[in-house]
Every structure is written in C-alpha cells, then in structure tokens.
Amino acid sequence: MSGSEFQLINHYFSRLGVDRTDVLLGVGDDCALLQVPEGQVLAVSIDTLVEGVHFFPGVDPESLGHKALAVNLSDLAAMGADPAWITLALTLPRVDEQWLAAFSSGFAALAKRFQLQLVGGDTTRGPLTISVQVHGFVASGKALRRDRAKPGDLIYVSGTLGDAGLALLAQKGAYDPGADLAALQIRLDRPEPRIGTSQSVRDLATGAIDISDGLLADLGHICEQSRVGAVINLSNIPLSDPVRVYVEKQQDWTIPLSAGDDYELCLIVPARHQAEIEARAQGLDVGLSLIGQIEVGETICCLDENGTQIQIGSGGYDHFPSS
C-alpha cells in the first residue's frame, strides 16, 4: 500500500465502533493493549470471507461489511460470550473509496450496536479477502462448549431455519419463492447475530453452536464432541411461511436441516431448566423452539409427526471434501 492509500484506509478503520475503557491502546501502534476483566476469560474467534468462495463478486459492500462481522459475533453468541474487540485483516485488489465507505459503514453499524471497538488489523493488496477476528468475555467456567451435552438434555433452536438456504436456492434459479424472495434474501445477506438471545438464556444452557453449516452438521459437531446422539422431531423445527411451503411442495427437508447460513443458535439445555427457559423465551424478540433431545448413541435421528424415522441428506458445506 502506498502512503496515500494507507491514509485512506486509516480514515475508515482507525476509529471504528465505540470507545471502550478496556482498550488501553487501539489502532496505530505495533500492537493493541487490552484489559480482560477480572474473573472473565477471553473468547476468540476468526472467520475469513473470500470473494468467489463465500460471497459473489460485486456483492453490495455495505451488506458484506455487516455479514463479515455478524458471522463472527454469531460465534461469540454460541460460546455465551459478550462482544468486546475486533481486529480486521483486509486484502483488497485496489483501493476503491466508494467500496471502503460502504463496507466500513455496514461493519461499523453492527460494531456500535454491540458495543465493539476495532483495535487493529492489517491491510494488504491481493484478491478480495476479509478476515475478522472477534474477542469477547465469558465468566470463567461458564462458556457454552460443544463437549458437554448429556443424554436427556433438551435441544432448542432460535428463530427459523432454512430461510438463507432457500434464498440461495432461489439465487441459483432452482426455486421461485415469489413475493417472499426479498425477506429470504435479507436472511442470507444480513444475518442477525443472536447475542441478545444468548445473553438472556446462557446461564440455563450447558452447550451451544451457531448454525452456519446446517442444523444436522452443526448439531453433529456437538454430538461428536460430547459422544452422544440426538432425536429431532421434524414437526417442531421452526419454519417461516415460505420455507414451510417449500418443504410441503417439494417434500424436501434438506433446506431447513442441511442448508447453512442461518446463523441461528442451537442450545443444549438440561431438562430441569425447561420451564425457566420457555418462560424467558416469551420475553425475547426471537423465538426459541424445543426441537428434540440428546440421547445415548452416536447418530442424529429425525422423526416425522407420526414418529417415523426420515432419512435426510447430510449436507453442510465442506471446503476440503475427502472423496
């Protein structure tokens, strides 16, 4: 980057988000200096979006700024952590001021909403690639880990599943959702990290994962790491109207169960907390649905409304498929 290019980037990224008192030194030095509150541990996660792999070339930069941060915040929500700091590594083919202004505005709006501060990053020239690292705090011993699920625990999911997957299917021209396309597209382009949901119920849960690769794949990670199985009741899977219509018309459950990009939470909750979590869910702006439970075993079994087992294609997006 030339000096003037760096100044331009500095203009957009030197003071992004809120000013936090736990940031002793932010953007501008060799390192940021950060203070983790006493009794809390640092939860750290990074995600990379590559043009042509994770998003289409020419996608709206404002939405891209939102999504790049949202998918990371979703990981903090799934860990039961409170968002605090961000670092951002940007690889840009060229310095395009309009693009930078729009990208940083989508990114900054979400950062402000969740009280985050951008504390550093890196800027290089190359194929458009965005790496965002988030840092959050979680009380020591209270993180929602994937390896703590026990037979008998209840499985809840937030919001509705399959909306982003249906938008992607429509984008590929494989299905026409009619007038619902715009609402579905928002679910794909501007996922809403379920931070508030996580903060409201995390003390009742022992584990969680965010659904980025599809419910079966992501719940599968919990089952694998906890060495358990699960039973899912398909009639309890929360569906928006357009996804319900799709499932009924096409007799196809892969969109709500195996398509990714919804970024809803899948929570593991000991059965003794059922009444409490359902009472708290009443006050949330996004619903929580009880979809099944953890069992002894190592498979996820899906039952229809008659209790008959249904086979679903596994799905989930794998960047390095082994076959």
Query: C-alpha distances in angstroms, 185 versus 53, 168, 188?
Result: 18, 8, 5
Neighbours of 181 (CB within 10 A): 16
Smallest gap from Cβ 225 to ligand ADP, in A, equals: 33
Residue 32 or 269 with smaller CB distance to ligand ADP: 32
* 149 burial type by CB count under 10 A (0-12 exposed, 13-18 middle, 19+ buried): buried
Closest contact distance (angstroms) between CB of 11 and ligand ADP is 11
Nearer to ligand ADP, 106 or 120 (CB): 120
Q: How far is the CB of 9 from ligand ADP (least distance, A)?
A: 6
DSSP conformational letter for 39:
T
209 binds, among ligand ADP, Mg ion, none (CB under 5 to 8 A by kind): none
Is residue 203 near Mg ion by the rule CB under 5 A?
Answer: no
Residue 254 Cβ, how far from Mg ion at the closest point, in Å? 42
Between 19 and 38, whose beta carbon lies closer to ligand ADP? Answer: 19
The first and second tokens of residue 71, run together, are 């998918």
User: How big is the site for Mg ion, counted in residues (CB under 5 A)?
Assistant: 1
Query: 243 is in the binding site of which of ligand ADP, Mg ion, none (Cβ under 5 to 8 A by kind)?
Result: none
Closer to ligand ADP by Cβ: residue 29 or 285 = 29
Q: What pairs with residue 294 in β-bridges?
A: 230
Contacts of 71 (CB under 8 A, 6+ apart): 47, 49, 132, 191, 193, 212, 263
Closest approach, Cβ 86 to ligand ADP, in A, equals: 8
Question: Of 10, 37, 122, 151, which lies in the binding site for Mg ion, with binding defined by CB under 5 A?
Answer: 122
What's the rounded Cα separation, in Å, for the pair 22 and 289? Answer: 36
Q: Which of Mg ion, ligand ADP, none sits in contact with 121, Cβ below 5 to 8 A by type?
A: ligand ADP
Positions that interact with ligand ADP (CB under 6 A): 9, 13, 27-30, 88, 90, 118, 120-123
224 is in the binding site of which of ligand ADP, Mg ion, none (Cβ under 5 to 8 A by kind)?
A: none
CB-nearer residue toward ligand ADP: 28 or 151 = 28
* CB of 96 vs Mg ion, minimal distance in Å: 20
CA distance 163 to 255: 8
CA separation for the pair 295, 304 (Å, rounded): 17
| Residue of 271, 308, 292, 26 lying closest to 153 (CA atoms) | 271
Compute and round to an integer the Cα radius of gyration of the chain.
20
What's the min distance (Å) between Cβ of 122 and Mg ion?
Answer: 4
Say which residue the tokens 């705090």 belong to: 137
Cβ distance to Mg ion smaller for residue 123 or 236: 123
Interaction partner, residue 30 (ligand ADP, Mg ion, none; CB < 5-8 Å by kind): ligand ADP
- Joined together, the tokens standing for residue 152 give 């008998």
**Which C-beta is closer to ligand ADP: that of 89 or that of 286?**
89
Read off φ and ψ for residue 225, nearest 5 degrees. -75, -25
Nearest CA to 12 out of 131, 108, 122 is that of 108
Q: Which residues bind Mg ion (CB under 5 A)?
A: 122
